[in-house]
Amino acid sequence: MNKTVIKSDENIFEVLGVPNASFEKMRLDLMLEIHEWFELSGLTQVKAAKVLACTQPQLSLILKGRYEDFTIERLVKMLDSLGKTVKVNVLEAA
């Protein structure tokens, strides 16, 4: 079996040839921020969902990493409800 080693700074979606890899990575990064906030908050999923203006089942999908179920806009709005600001860096392609 061939193994592919992915460097920690590489976009896994690009390596796997996923279409729109940078969008997928951005969604995943936003979800990871929400996940980290939830873990540190000490709130139940129900209470955290109220803070995020979503439902508990939606929060559960985020915590399970189901990034394909959420738009970037929706995730940014959720982070905004936490008082977080999302900034986008535009870099030259490698």
What HEC string does the chain produce?
CCCCCCCCCCCHHHHCCCCCHHHHHHHHHHHHHHHHHHHHHCCCHHHHHHHHCCCHHHHHHHHCCCHHHCCHHHHHHHHHHCCCCCCCCCCCCC
In a domain, 73, yes or no: yes
In a domain, 39, yes or no: yes
Task: Count structural domains, the chain.
Answer: 1
In a domain, 94, yes or no: no
Q: Kindly state the average pLDDT of the residues 59-67.
A: 92
In a domain, 54, yes or no: yes
Q: Please write the tens of the pLDDT for every residue from 16-51.
A: 777 777 888 899 999 999 999 999 999 999 999 999
Tell me if the pTM is above 0.75. Answer: yes
In a domain, 38, yes or no: yes
Residue 58: which CATH number? 1.10.260.40
Domain span including residue 24: 12-81
In a domain, 88, yes or no: no
